Structure 1
Amino acid sequence: MSKPLSDPREGRPGLSRRTLFAGASTVGALAAAATLIPRAQPTAVTPAEPRPAPEKGGGYSLSDHVKQYYKTTQI
């Protein structure tokens, strides 16, 4: 008896036709989606006017952001 002939592609990793077309279609879909996404326009940021320094020292102020943080830490 003779041994059956093995497939020459069996032992080596490579690209199959299915993998190649799947990758190409994925790249094409990503390129099409990238052209449809609008670009963000840079906005001019105006710096906030600094508050005057407190007379008695310190600098902590109970802002809305700090109040929101305290609400999230309550059990």
Structure 2
Amino acid sequence: MDQKIKRRSLLGGLGVAAAGLFALKAAPVVQEKIETLAAPAEPEGTGYRLTEHVKKYYRTTTI
């Protein structure tokens, strides 16, 4: 019975180590995706853009 407990502990430890390695490997990818989602994409072209300056102007025109 003692041998089974050691084997289970070893396999459990290997599973935890594998999960830790996977998390370390996936962390940069996840961080990159978070940064991509956090930064809004700038629209292409030279047309109208709703900037802070324009928003301030709209706030001053409200009655």
Instruction: Give the TM interval when normalised to the shorter protein.
Output: 0.3 to 0.5
Structure having the higher Rg: 1
| Larger relative contact order (Cα-Cα within 8 Å, sequence gap ≥ 6) | 2
TM (norm. structure 1) is 0.36
Structure (1 or 2) with the greater helix fraction: 2
TM (norm. structure 2) is 0.40
